[in-house]
A and B are shown apart, each in its own frame.
Chain A
Amino acid sequence: MDFSALTSFVISWQSLVILAVFGISLLIATYSTYAERVVAAFLQDRVGPDRAGPYGLLQPLADAVKLFTKEEFFPAGANRGLFVFGPCLAMTTALMASAVIPFGNTLLLGNGEVVRLQAIEVNIGMLYVFGVVSLGVYGLMIGGWASNNKFSLLGAIRAAAQAVSYELAMGMALIALLMVTGTLSLRQIALQQYDGLWNIVYQPLGFIIFCVCAFAETNRTPFDLPECETELVGGYHTEYSSMKMGLYLFAEYINVFVASAVMSTLYFGGFSFPGEHLLYNYLTASQSELFAHNVVTILGTVTLFAKIFFFIFFFMWVRWTLPRFRYDQLMRLGWTMLFPLAILNIILTGAFILFFGNKEAKLDVSKEAAPTEIRTVARR
């Protein structure tokens, strides 16, 4: 057997998955701009975009054409290099995070190959996402500072203070989750929820803290203080025009997508759905094991995307429902409410694990699972 040809074939399947994840992130971000307006129109009882194409579905394309053809403007006294670097960095860090998110279990090809529906699997996935999210603020800070504008600078400073404050509570919420799961790998966390309750049952408080912090980290209303247009004109992107502005807006929607995907994976079962074992057993009996595994995997991916879309809708729902916080309220919420709550959550979780937890069972699942083992997990 020609081994090198086989290896390159496997690599090509995996690289196709990577390309697909990249493309899907961009596509979902594109249509999030459309969805945002449709949701806003729905919540405010308006019609919304309906001119470009049927139901206004071509609106994102029209927006892109507009942004690309607008004049690129450099403000006087701006630091040119960093002014261009800011939006690039915002976009890059936003796209990096979706690399480790498991969008599905494995697909089994007929010749015994296994394709993971995930760009790359690392056993520190949760830390990777957290690290990349914490880097996202650099794009905002650099862009805001390089614009040589007071409002941009204020926006950048707010972005930095907000990101650092809410990262702490977010990390604490993740630590409590980590105590429950016993692993940092997002794939393992998703697989653990395959035959059991979703993590939201064990970590309701942790989820609320994480969700609030996700809103703050993605700079969405009610935490969009860095671009607060009633106080700061446009905040950090006041001086930006054309596609550089577009990249900032785009990065925000990719962040929303990633935050939704992470929340679904960590707390809402990832690619698992109720009744999958029944379906798997039924299909194994009537068809073949291979067929059953692949069908369950594809349905799982569809379920995960349904969960992600729900959370994206939730982000927009909140945006058009709640007013913006004042800056001192934002800081007080972060430091004097979420932070102590997160510590309390850690203590409570530790106490529960100590008194009621079945440590052996959890540790067993957290061990490194080979692709074949993944199938046995699915079968149970």
Chain B
Amino acid sequence: MSLFYFLTFVALLSALGVVFAKNPMHSVLFLVLTFFAISGHYLLLNAQFLAAVNIIVYAGAIMVLFLFVVMFLNLNADTEPNKSALAKVAGAIAGGLLLLVLIAALRNVNPTGADLNTFDSQIGMVNRLGLVLYQQYLLPFELASVLFLVAMVGSVMLGKREVGERHF
């Protein structure tokens, strides 16, 4: 239980760090730390596969690309465009609405915990997850993979060099 509170503390603190950090580089690193804390939560929930994949995909690949892009930015303070008040208000309203929806969704949840007698400790293991994905949820799984394929083909098309174009 103390581990849960520690991970929650780290997750919340670093998530706040993402928003409040002035330097985009620090912001990205805080986001990586948030993903680590969330992976710790997955481990506590006995979902090892999810924890490892979260680290590999988000911390290991996507955030590396984020850093990659941030490194190309010119990070001098005077070049940063001043955000207008309208954007700030719009952001606050959008974030507040999301919070409202989340609270509404979670308000009636009654966490009872698992029944120790019927609880299956293998539930988050890789082979169990695979069986569920390929038997019970086969159609959504395949649809999601088609979606990924479309996204991949789209990115290849966008990145393809046009005839006569010179990149460097």
Contact = CB atoms under 8 A, between A and B. Distances in A.
B56 interface: yes
B56 A134 contact: yes
A184 B52 CA distance: 12
A160 B25 CA distance: 14
B7 interface: no
B59 interface: yes
A233 to B, nearest CB: 18
5 contacts: A138-B32, A141-B67, A142-B29, A157-B72, A160-B64
Contact of B64 (A82, A124, A138, A171): A138
Interface stretch (A125-133, A208-216, A243-251, A308-316): A125-133
B134 interface: no
Contact of A167 (B32, B61, B72): B61
Interface in B46-74: 48-49, 52-53, 55-56, 59-61, 64-65, 67-68, 71-72
A124 B60 CA distance: 16
The bracket for how many chain B residues form the interface is: 20 to 34
A130 B56 contact: yes
Interface residues of A, number: 26
Given A123-B48, A124-B48, A135 B59 contact: yes
B126 interface: yes
Q: SS class of chain A's interface: helix, strand, loop or mixed?
A: helix
Given A124-B52, A184-B126, A157 B64 contact: no
B125 interface: yes
A22 B32 CA distance: 26
Nearest to A142: B29
Interface of B: 25, 29, 32, 48-49, 52-53, 55-56, 59-61, 64-65, 67-68, 71-72, 125-126
Q: SS class of chain B's interface: helix, strand, loop or mixed?
A: helix
Contacts of A130: 52, 56
Contact of B71 (A123, A134, A156): A156
A131 B56 CA distance: 5
A131 B71 contact: no
A189 to B, nearest CB: 13
B71 A127 contact: no
A124 B56 CA distance: 12
A131 B60 contact: yes
A164 interface: yes
A120 interface: no
Contact of B52 (A131, A141, A145): A131
Given A123-B48, A145-B25, A184-B126, A135 B55 contact: yes
A80 B94 CA distance: 36
Contacts of B48: 122-124
Contacts of B29: 82, 142
A184 B65 CA distance: 27
